[in-house]
Amino acid sequence: MFALLHEPLFRRTDADATPVMVVQLGDKEAVMPLRAIQREFAIADESPDGRMLALIAEALDFVPALRLGDELPKEVLTGDASWEPEPQHIQRALTRLRLQLVTWLHGPNAEETVDFNTDDLANADDDPVLRQQIQEAFQRAAEDLGLPTKEAVIAQLEVLAGELAYIEALRDRLLEGVRSVVNHIQRLFRAAHSDASQRRLLERLRFLSQEALDRLSHRFEQQDAQTGEVMAMLRHLDSHRGFIRSNRDWFYRCHMAWAPILADWRGEAAKPAADIRPLLVGTYRFLAPRFMPVTEWLKTNKAVKKADIGVKMTW
């Protein structure tokens, strides 16, 4: 079948993210849901072909498309990530864990010793007093965990930091990217006085983008809360690693959805407001079906031209 169909493409549909196989039939494009293919050929879920179709569907959460011969992403094969964080993200994650360990060492009074709100965690290791406290925390943790040396604690912390570095990377790329879009929309709204139509559109974008940022921030806060007890993570390393990876993959899928919008805003941010309407409309089309209540969506549809919004909703 694959030879007959000439290099089919696997992707998700724009309308509802259904995993499909796309083939060219002359000058037409045929789109076939993977579930329909499986049903038509009586492919059982537990059969090799059924398992492969399931892997393809899962893989499309991490790559935009697959062709025959492409490697499946590591996320669906081994649980590892198919991309790498930058060195500063690894260092930031490691420093956070060390500070959490110092907090544990000092108990209820730790807040007086460690500033978790610092903007530059990398500088924490430059404090000689803090470095001494970290070494004491390593030794105490080794005793508490029944490990032979503090080096064993350091090795486990580095494993955890390697996992949490992905969260730090996505915090920068996704959360801060969305925050930048929200701030830019706010500035455009304050500056939009003469164009009533554009001001109405910006007003809706202010609400929708802030809602998106609030939800995303809450998800990161939940992640931080669940990984805030370093000793609990060291005692149950495997289960916490699974939790971190699950969130890593959720944030990554979210970043894939946002990536075109974030890239457009980075490229268009310097243009005058008069040239930015296509970006505003595209952003509205992205945000509205995701973050607007149904009643608000129907109400707003009356105020904004259908030609500007479009009729297709994507996820």
User: Is the predicted pLDDT of residue 101 greater than 90, yes or no?
Assistant: yes
pLDDT attached to residue 83: 95
pLDDT attached to residue 173: 96
pLDDT attached to residue 118: 42
Show the tokens assigned to 80: 């590892």
In the chain, which ranges are E strands?
9-12, 19-25, 28-33, 65-67
- Would you say how long the chain is, in residues? 315
pTM: 0.83
- 313 pLDDT band, cuts 50/70/90, is very low
Q: Which of 188, 184, 213 is nearest to 202 (CA)?
A: 188
Distance CA(298)–CA(120), nearest Å, equals 45
- 4 pLDDT band, cuts 50/70/90, is confident
pLDDT attached to residue 48: 94
**Contact criterion met (CB below 8 Å) for 223 and 247:** yes
pLDDT attached to residue 77: 93
- 12 pLDDT band, cuts 50/70/90, is very high
pLDDT attached to residue 125: 63
User: Is the predicted pLDDT of residue 208 greater than 50, yes or no?
Assistant: yes
User: Is the predicted pLDDT of residue 117 greater than 80, yes or no?
Assistant: no
Instruction: Give the C-alpha distances (Å, rounded to integers) separating 33 from 24, 256, 315.
Output: 15, 21, 17
Backbone phi and psi for residue 196, each to the nearest 5 degrees, phi listed first: -65, -40
Average pLDDT over residues 232-242: 93
pLDDT attached to residue 120: 45
Show the tokens assigned to 167: 């969260």
pLDDT in tens, 276-307: 889 999 999 999 988 887 555 555 555 544 44
pLDDT attached to residue 272: 56
pLDDT attached to residue 271: 59
pLDDT attached to residue 31: 92
- Asked which of 182-186, 195-199, 232-236, 267-271 is least confident by mean pLDDT, the reply is 267-271
Distance CA(250)–CA(21), nearest Å, equals 24
Distance CA(198)–CA(203), nearest Å, equals 9
User: Is the predicted pLDDT of residue 314 greater than 50, yes or no?
Assistant: no
Distance CA(119)–CA(115), nearest Å, equals 10
DSSP character string of 61-125: TTSSEEETTPPPPHHHHTS--SS---HHHHHHHHHHHHHHHHHHHHGGGGGGT--TT-S-GGGGG
User: Is the predicted pLDDT of residue 20 greater than 70, yes or no?
Assistant: yes
Instruction: Write down the mean pLDDT value for the chain.
Output: 86
User: Is the predicted pLDDT of residue 10 greater than 50, yes or no?
Assistant: yes
User: Is the predicted pLDDT of residue 180 greater than 80, yes or no?
Assistant: yes
Average pLDDT over residues 173-180: 97
Which residues does 16 contact at the CB level (< 8 Å), separation at least 6?
Answer: 315
CA angle, 11 then 14 then 16, to 5° = 100
pLDDT in tens, 123-142: 666 778 888 889 999 999 99
Average pLDDT over residues 80-91: 95
User: Is the predicted pLDDT of residue 111 greater than 80, yes or no?
Assistant: no
